[in-house]
Amino acid sequence: MEQQITATPAAVSGKPEDSAQSARLKGNAAFATRNWELAYYFYTQALCSTPQDAAALLANRSASCLHLGDPKAALQDAEAAVQARPRWFKAHYRCGRACESLGQLREAADCYRRACELDPQHTPGLLQALAAIEQRLADQRCRWVLRASGSALYDVAYRPQVTAFGRQAEIVAAASADCKVYLWDPATGELQACLTGHIDLVTDALWSANGLRLASASLDCTARIWAQQQPAAEADHDRSTDCTVRLWNAASGACLHTLAGHSGKVADVAMHPSRPVLASASGDGNCRVWDTVTGSCLHELTWDSGGVNLCRFTARAEAGEGLVLATCHIDGPRREMGKWLASKAPKQPMHIHVTHFPLLGVL
């Protein structure tokens, strides 16, 4: 709680006509014995005498104000000290302490950072104060800590608000090492569902553009699609290592379809942004395109380029070319990736194929 500082000559020893140096020394003595009211009084007397180094007096009086319960006055003195000596680390530190007391954490962090920059010895107290503020700011930004039975989480996918039977909801999906996909409500942090069916760790999770389908991929060689609502067209999916992709009902946890056909582990899945179509990438060197409503395979795309470890639907920059499916392969000649691959510095050569979906009759 803030309080008014009312130190007066009658309340303390010392005379108003003391010189600035004498008043400073008396203020320092009172400061050393933690007599904050007396220190405040003598620093005020010294400031009234137009001292040479007003910044030090203002900084010390700022600390006295803070201990007396007046952070606003402390901040005012600290800011005046910064103005008097802009490159003095302690003036910025006093600003940080006052801002912290006022609950202005971002401003306090900025002051502490500036103080650390100006202090060549990196005073441990400054670094500790900055670390404490940054931790408090991080705690404010973190809304929930979501855990899944202590197992490692390999991927998370956030679904924004979507309309479903007159309601709006947000869901966070997480791919877990315990072979499950967990769904949390980010508004409450409560676990909403646990999707089971994979028999090996789940490595990836991806929501469809409309938020009604979830895909998951697993080291069981499968990918699954899970539905948020009952209709199969609103399924969600996952990737897998059992060579299959599965479609799930996210509300009930029931598996709608198991998309079998790959002979290698399924590394990635991609949902069409507007149609009930899913692409799956597999180590068998194929990329399959599936109908998520019927579970049937629409197309099997094959190249002599090694395993397919990534697939994505994307729009081409060229006008009129529409939506395309891009796939990334390993163990193939490094010819078509250009600067993008150079920045990634892969351990193995890779290249990309692009398939125009209008030619496949999917759109």
Domain CATH code at residue 121? 1.25.40.10
Q: Give residue 142's pLDDT.
A: 66
CB distance 63 to 94 below 8 Å:
yes
The domain boundary residue, chosen from 91, 108, 141:
141
Q: Among 141, 175, 202, which residue terminates a domain? A: 141
Residue 74: its pLDDT value, please? 93
Residue 136 domain boundaries: 9-141
Residue 236 phi/psi, 5-degree rounding, is -110, 160
Please indicate, yes or no, whether residues 182 and 307 belong to a single structural domain of this protein: yes
CATH number for the domain spanning 191: value is 2.130.10.10
Please indicate, yes or no, whether residues 93 and 188 belong to a single structural domain of this protein: no
pTM of the shown model: 0.41
Lowest model confidence (mean pLDDT) among 55-64, 192-201, 282-291 = 282-291
Residue of 280 and 331 predicted with greater confidence: 280
The pLDDT, as a whole number, for residue 294 is 85
Query: How confident is the model at residue 321, as a pLDDT?
Result: 55
**Confidence tier at 361 by pLDDT (50, 70, 90):** very low
Residue 186 falls within a domain, yes or no?
Answer: yes
Residues 303-313 have pLDDT tens digits of 776 778 788 87
The confidence score (pLDDT) of residue 15 equals 46
222 and 285, same domain (yes or no): yes
The strand order across the sheet containing 323-330 reads 308-315, 323-330, 350-356
Distance CA 262, CA 243 (A): 5
28 and 170 housed in the same domain = no
- Higher-pLDDT residue of 61 and 171 is 61
Provide the number of structural domains found in the chain: 2
Q: Which of 322, 320, 311 is nearest to 363 (CA)?
A: 322
Name residues whose C-beta falls within 8 Å of residue 141's C-beta, 6 or more positions apart in sequence. none
Query: 358 in a domain, yes or no?
Result: no
Cα–Cα separations (whole angstroms), residue 94 to 29, 50, 59, 84, 209:
19, 21, 6, 13, 50
Which among 110, 141, 172 is the end of a domain? 141
Between 34 and 349, name the one with better pLDDT: 34
CA–CA separation, 301 and 315 (whole Å): 19
Q: Does 353 map to a domain? A: no
- Verify that 129 and 241 share a domain, yes or no: no
Distance CA 350, CA 341 (A): 8
Residue 17: pLDDT over 90: no
Same domain, 127 and 226: no
Residue 341 lies in a domain: no
Would residue 155 count as lying in a domain? no
Residues 93 and 212 in one domain: no
Residue 66 corresponds to which amino acid? L
pLDDT for residue 231 is more than 60: no
